[in-house]
Structure 1
């Protein structure tokens, strides 16, 4: 469960990247994020729209309750984990992480690989709790501890 005070600003508590599909995610303290390309060094860097994935510890706590076991942030295959809050799901919604501006493309659908890495039933437990996929509108560095604005007005 989230221990952050109600109304407090969400912050990045974990960053994970993988160099290739199906390769293990590794935890890092900072990443460089390029506009229109994604996280430098991540498997999705340079793809058309799947630049950055974001999830929240609040949603992971719900998934763990449903799953009946811990759902570690590093095993969900998402890039950024927030300490609390609801990650927007509506396409076009904008989020600012430090200096980086992101825009929701779609909900992040959990894959079957999660049943292998977290345990049977993890994919279903994360359905509707797996965060969102974003495209990068403005790049820059993202570090653990960066503040997150979850609904940035367009323009």
Structure 2
């Protein structure tokens, strides 16, 4: 069974912006990190992203987040540039799918992701979004995924479906 969702934002950034202490502030954002199209490579991540083909991040190279989880009450302009997630989806509680394999199709064919673990918010969220953001994002900070197929994601309408749900076996 599939459902219609929306890919609201895509972030492909070559830079780690949140290093060191949050009190020191983030490093400058590179131009063009919010994109309209992202190339996904199986087992590697998003082409051009800071986690692409990094052995330590292969099981968590792409992070999906629900737009409904953004702490807009704390900072109305919050988006992927603040949370540092890769794919912002509207219309699905993606945090509920840890352990599942999901497909996201924005029109160029389905891209499969193994949803591995929650993306836990860190103290940087309070520094860049506002006080209370880290707590507001607990349990809904998105999910770290392994891409299982090559493909392309674009902004706009998308089909979301669960391909395999290991959660049911637990």
Q: What is the TM-score normalised by the length of structure 2?
A: 0.75
Residue of structure 1 equivalent to 2:68: 58
Larger-gyration structure (1/2): 2
Q: Of residues 138, 149, 152 in structure 1, which corresponds to 2:160? A: 149
Q: Tell me, in whole angstroms, the C-alpha distance in 2 between the residues paired with 1:51 and 1:13.
A: 19
Question: Runs of 5+ in structure 1 lacking a partner?
Answer: 1-6
Secondary structure, counterpart of 2:84 in structure 1: coil
Secondary structure, counterpart of 1:18 in structure 2: coil
TM superposition shift of 1:11:
1.8
Q: Of residues 5, 8, 14 in structure 2, which corresponds to 1:10? A: 5
1:114–1:88 Cα change, 3 Å: closer
Q: Tell me, in whole angstroms, the C-alpha distance in 1 between the residues paired with 2:86 and 2:144.
A: 10
Q: State the superposition RMSD in angstroms.
A: 2.1
Q: Which runs of 4+ in 1 moved over 6 A?
A: none
Q: Of residues 122, 138, 143 in structure 2, which corresponds to 1:132? A: 143
Residue of structure 2 equivalent to 1:109: 120
TM superposition shift of 1:117:
1.4
1:151–1:14 Cα change, 3 Å: same
TM superposition shift of 1:8:
5.6
> Are positions 1:100 and 2:111 aligned together?
yes
Q: Deviations over 1:63-94 (max 9, x none)?
A: 334xx432612211110011222004444301
Question: Runs of 5+ in structure 2 lacking a partner?
Answer: 18-26, 166-170
1:147–1:97 Cα change, 3 Å: same
Point out the structure with the larger helix share: 2
TM superposition shift of 1:16:
0.9
Preserved contact between residue 5 and residue 90 of structure 2 (Cα < 8 Å): yes
Secondary structure, counterpart of 1:141 in structure 2: strand
Count residues with an aligned counterpart. Answer: 144
